[in-house]
């Protein structure tokens, strides 16, 4: 993903392990096979990532939050499993067993999460960042607007004023954000509009009570369905 080009090559070089550099035996691109959602020109114009508009193939310039679509987790797991078996063939059977156990659990939970989310298909939400686009698309939710007008660019006072008017006019009931994003602006918009405010974990983090990848989506779907249910009342 070209969105990581500002830091990933440096991290790989500083690892002092030439085997994990791109093109080498130990290099793994977990997004291989994932259909990423492209950014529009407007979303990246004037941002640190604007150069990606002119460089690289479409599969390298898509939205890099692809792991937040549980079905993509099946592709990611396959990529990891195959790479581990390639670099450590003596333990290939062990990796295959773990992969099959994980994917069976994940497929079963995806069915459960889809059932949980079915009643809320078509509902509108506002997201601070463009990280929840995969999950909302999968469940048929509509992200009506973003608080960040462009990727990583904080909103101006006029941006906020326009968004507040839109949320009120369209009666958008929920604002989504992740814990690592600035909370104050989103809380203030929620306060001004009456929309609910929901900070969802976007990665595994013991401090947030999320112990693994499947648990991440158990937590996300439990909190999201609760908020959407209250919004429908």
For 171-228, the pLDDT digits (tens) are 999 999 999 999 999 999 999 999 999 999 999 998 888 999 999 999 999 999 999 9
Q: How far apart are CA 21 and CA 5, in angstroms?
A: 13
Q: How far apart are CA 145 and CA 225, in angstroms?
A: 20
Q: What's the pLDDT tens digit per position in 2-42?
A: 556 666 777 777 787 888 888 888 889 999 999 999 888 88
């Amino acid at each position: 993903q070209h969105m990581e080009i500002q830091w990933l090559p440096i991290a790989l070089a500083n690892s002092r392990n030439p085997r994990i550099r791109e093109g080498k035996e130990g290099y793994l691109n977990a997004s291989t096979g994932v259909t990423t959602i492209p950014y529009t020109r407007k979303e990246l114009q004037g941002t640190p990532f604007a150069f990606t508009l002119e460089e690289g193939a479409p599969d390298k310039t898509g939205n890099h939050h692809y792991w937040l679509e549980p079905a993509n987790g099946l592709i990611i797991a396959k990529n990891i499993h195959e790479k581990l078996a390639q670099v450590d063939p003596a333990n290939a059977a062990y990796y295959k067993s773990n992969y099959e156990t994980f994917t069976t659990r994940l497929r079963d939970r995806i069915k459960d999460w889809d059932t949980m989310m079915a009643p809320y298909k078509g509902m509108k939400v506002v997201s601070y960042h463009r990280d929840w686009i995969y999950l909302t698309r999968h469940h048929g939710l509509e992200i009506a607007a973003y608080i960040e007008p462009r990727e990583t660019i904080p909103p101006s006072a006029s941006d906020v004023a326009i968004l507040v008017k839109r949320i009120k006019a369209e009666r958008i009931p929920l604002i989504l954000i992740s814990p690592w994003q600035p909370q104050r602006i989103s809380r203030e918009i929620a306060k001004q509009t009456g929309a609910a405010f929901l900070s969802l974990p976007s990665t595994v983090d013991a401090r947030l009570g999320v112990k693994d990848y499947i648990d991440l989506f158990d937590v996300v779907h439990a909190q999201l369905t609760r908020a959407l249910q209250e919004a429908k009342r």
